Amino acid sequence: MTLLNARCRSCGRQELDLILSLGKTPLANALLTREQLSQPEQAYPLDLVFCQECSLVQITETVPPEILFRDYFYFSSFADTTLQNARQIAERLVKERKLGANSLVVEVASNDGYLLQYYKDQGLPVLGIEPALNIAKVAEERGIPTLPEFFDQALAQRLRVQGKQADVIHANNVLAHVANLNSVIAGLSILLKPGGVLVTESPYVRDMVEGVEFDTIYHEHLCYYSLTAQQHLFARHGLYVQDVEHLPIHGGSLRLFVEHEECPSPEVQRLLAEEQSLGLDRFAYYARFGERVEALRDELLILLASLKSQGRRIVAYGASAKGATLLNYFGIGRETLEYVVDRSTAKQMHYTPGTHLPILSPEKLLEDQPDYALLLTWNFADEILTQQAGFRRNGGQFIIPIPELRVV
């Protein structure tokens, strides 16, 4: 099916091909208080489409960013894997690019300072840009200078007039979230010093498709990138992908090193050729994704129904955005799950959107010892399985739904 009433966020093409429709869903990170449970929840269409002009996979609906991000529940510092990834790239870039006290490192969507802290600890000037007011406040309290604003071309120009240009800009898991995509990329080009490097990380659309990671689709994630699509986007603003790395984090991500000069590494050339060979630049590659999601839903629902019929108690681990997509689209709620546990204290004592499951501390698993925990944050499976060794020793098991259903 071709949608004619939507415009590509990257190139502006108006004819987009429908890959998958998840219907109308509530906002994945709009956790509820007890008082809000009786109030109506706003739901928005969630349709995934493909642009044949620039190869960008994206959703059609744009929820105003002021609704999504001004008061936010995701704190990066609660994920050990995220912190380890941040520390490693910071230490590496300081060494490789010989950064020092006269350098400037900027992160766009800097969250609570989880990454910039590693530069600050080495004596480098840093600047965070974070629109979530509650999270920007936490970063400031930790000693990370943070602008509580949305990043765009106008803000970049303002910073440049103030004499601020960056030797390194980080944009981790942010390009998927921005509605004014071309303004943000133009801003990154303005803010990046000649000879500087922009380092981005975004979930890889190939991993999403091949791993049936449909739960990464929610209203905050507007775009799902291949290297091909990102190359088109950056080149439009005089930026060029110099190198690329395929990371396991978040179910599979691409880390790009982007500069003003065009000199792609052999790995960039290899991956572009591989994407073309596999067909990531053509709709046919994405066409059966919806069928595979339906098959996964049937498999998981059959397993959960069987366990419940045996009198087994089931809870969930991870009040994540991806978990909200899975629970709402698969129709899994309080008839199956008793509660959700999450390590983030900001989420505890709230309720999940749509399904209204209470969110408790992970300590509840050991206190209560249910039989199974459906792992909604499967992208941190190794970390969580290690943390919950006590629950597992006592006989508790985890159901990991993605990339393939398994019980451990």
Q: Using CA atoms, how far apart are residues 83 and 105, in angstroms rounded to an integer?
A: 17
Q: What pLDDT, on the 0 to 100 scale, is given for residue 76? A: 59
Q: What pLDDT, on the 0 to 100 scale, is given for residue 258? A: 98
Together in a domain, 339 and 380: yes
Q: Using CA atoms, how far apart are residues 58 and 302, in angstroms rounded to an integer?
A: 31
* 118-129 tens-digit pLDDT: 999 999 999 999
What is this structure's pTM?
0.86
Per-residue pLDDT averaged across 370-381, rounded?
A: 95
Angle between helices 181-191 and 153-161 (to 10 degrees): 20
Together in a domain, 349 and 250: no
For 244, the domain range is 76-286
Together in a domain, 367 and 310: yes
Q: What pLDDT, on the 0 to 100 scale, is given for residue 346? A: 87
Q: Considering its fold, how many domains does the chain have in total?
A: 2
Cα separations (Å) of 57 from 27, 129, 323?
Answer: 20, 26, 21
Q: Poorest-confidence range of 82-86, 108-112, 370-374? A: 82-86
pLDDT at 78 over 70: no
Together in a domain, 293 and 279: no
Q: What pLDDT, on the 0 to 100 scale, is given for residue 65? A: 72
- Domain end, chosen from 256, 286, 316, is at 286
Together in a domain, 299 and 153: no
Together in a domain, 255 and 383: no
184 within a domain of the structure (yes/no): yes
pLDDT at 77 over 70: no
Q: Using CA atoms, how far apart are residues 80 and 88, in angstroms rounded to an integer?
A: 12
Per-residue pLDDT averaged across 285-304, rounded?
A: 95
Q: Using CA atoms, how far apart are residues 345 and 214, in angstroms rounded to an integer?
A: 27
Residue type, 136: A
Q: What does the mean pLDDT of the chain come to?
A: 93
Together in a domain, 401 and 320: yes
CATH number for the domain including 248?
Answer: 3.40.50.150
SS3 for 301-322 is HHHHHHHHHCCCCEEEECCCHH
Share of residues in the chain with pLDDT > 70 (%):
96
Q: Poorest-confidence range of 56-65, 230-239, 325-334? A: 56-65
Residues 312/336, Cβ–Cβ less than 8 Å: no
* 142-187 tens-digit pLDDT: 999 999 999 999 999 999 999 999 999 999 989 998 889 999 999 9
Share of residues in the chain with pLDDT > 90 (%):
86
